[in-house]
Homo-oligomer: A and B are copies of this chain.
């Protein structure tokens, strides 16, 4: 298992971590199999979406804030219930396939760390499993 740090700089953020995952894959030497990406946090998540137009992650974060408002008569007194709910909606993990030593991603797909309660110093865990 490998891990790396993501520093987030605002309350909400989507940080492209595709390059970091590719570096871990290269080091692992796995040619064919699957890649598990796991975020060990309850107010953050991992997702896959478009990064060609930076307005896409902005729209995602804006709309998630509209769907799950920061203040909505929550009981949890830390003030970050919305972040916990978004974390479960997007989920803490993604699986990406590996073929011929490369991540199998569509043309427009990037892997994003999602910060819903920043700024914080976060961790991402990665493991590759060989299919053979």
Contact = CB atoms under 8 A, between A and B. Distances in A.
Contacts of A42: 48-50, 56, 106, 108-109
Given A59-B84, A68-B63, A85-B59, A129 B132 contact: yes
Q: How many copies does the complex hold?
A: 3
A40 B106 contact: yes
Interface of A: 1, 32-34, 36, 38-42, 47-50, 53, 55-56, 58-60, 62-64, 66-68, 72, 74-78, 81-82, 84-85, 87-97, 99, 104-109, 123, 125, 127-132
Given A81-B63, A84-B49, A94-B93, A40 B99 contact: no
Nearest to A78: B53
A129 B131 CA distance: 5
A99 B91 CA distance: 21
